[in-house]
Structure 1
Amino acid sequence: MTTWWAALRRRRACSAENGSAVVEFVFLAVLMLVPLIYLVMTLGRLQAGAYAASAAAREAGRAYTTASTEAEAEGRADAAASIAFEDQGFGGTGRLSLSCDGTPCLRPEGRIEVTSVVTVPLPLVPSFARDVVPLEVPLSATHVAVVDRFRGAP
């Protein structure tokens, strides 16, 4: 009879912990998944910013070198860069700078260096924290566009 009572006591002692493994698993899963999801979101925004800067520099260089006059070239470059920034969700935050290796810029085989900069804010950070600690990552890209060798005189 003592074995029957011992078995009953063991069963009652084990029944007090039934379901605790599920609670522990859910707690640990949430504890591990929240930072992982935030990391994936942050890396996604950084990748979008890098692509926006790269595409803006490349497209602005192409638009500048294919313009017929220098008066319209800078406007075309700005428009192409703003489309690239807007495409990745960085409209109005990107900057573009152009520099030529000589005068005039649109001479045959002239080189135009285009640099684009975009600042990527880290996701889900409140604005009051941004005032205290810089929580933005600046990304830049540079592209050198060459004017066509057989281009006619501007």
Structure 2
Amino acid sequence: MTLRTRLVLHRLRAGTTARLRAGGERGSALVEFVFLAVLMMVPLIYRVMVLARLQAGSYAASAAVREAGRAYVTAQRQEDAGPRADAAARIAFEDQGFRGDGLLTMSCDGDPCLRPDGRITMQATVTVPLPLVPAFARDVLPLEVPVTASHVAVVDRFRGTP
């Protein structure tokens, strides 16, 4: 073997080794990107889930007080007004997925409540649990957010006295 042949073979081996070293790194950027993307996306997705659940709670509370007030002031008799308001609030709570988690309180500014220009104050509270939290953690830490809404419904001025 001549010196020139040895030199050519040495260069070929050196180039092949360098290519093999570079080829061994091929695809690792993709793995790193996927790992970092998952690491960054999981908290982001969880935050979006929490915000969506809180928004549903605020929709439930605001719809419950508005519809309960409307149902209360449109009742024909005082005895029917309370159950009508409770039913309307329950439907609003269940519509947003809060079955049994909502609380509605009512108060009047005078007696009877259904007198012309009477004001009925409705207040709804929904307890929104944080998603994907196990039950044993809920017993240790308060992992629920209370959402409250209030509304004042006015009885029609030209309504006849019941």
TM-score tier (shorter): over 0.9
Q: Deviations over 1:126-150 (max 9, x none)?
A: 0000011000000000000000010
User: Where does residue 35 of structure 2 map in the other structure?
Assistant: 27
Q: Deviations over 1:20-65 (max 9, x none)?
A: 1111111111111111111111111110000000000000000000
TM-score, normalized by length of structure 1?
0.96
Unaligned regions of 5+ residues in structure 2, if any?
A: 1-7
Is 1:96 aligned to residue 109 of structure 2? no
Alignment of 1:32-51 (within 5 A): 32-51=40-59
**Cα offset for 1:9?**
2.6
Match of 1:143, SS?
strand
Match of 1:152 among 127, 150, 160: 160
Match of 2:59, SS?
helix
Alpha-carbon separation, structure 2, partners of 1:86 and 1:116:
13
Is 1:73 aligned to residue 81 of structure 2? yes
Q: Percent identity?
A: 68
Instruction: Select the structure of larger CA radius of gyration.
Output: 2
RMSD of Structure 2 on Structure 1 (CA) = 1.1
Is 1:13 aligned to residue 21 of structure 2? yes
Alpha-carbon separation, structure 1, partners of 2:159 and 2:99:
33
Aligned residues: 154
The amino acid of 1:102's aligned partner reads G
Alpha-carbon separation, structure 1, partners of 2:119 and 2:92:
22
**Cα offset for 1:3?**
4.4
The amino acid of 1:86's aligned partner reads E
Q: Deviations over 1:63-99 (max 9, x none)?
A: 0000011111000000000000010000111000001
Of the structure 1 ranges 12-21 and 59-68, higher mean CA displacement relative to structure 2 is found in 12-21
User: Where does residue 68 of structure 2 map in the other structure?
Assistant: 60
**Cα offset for 1:7?**
2.5
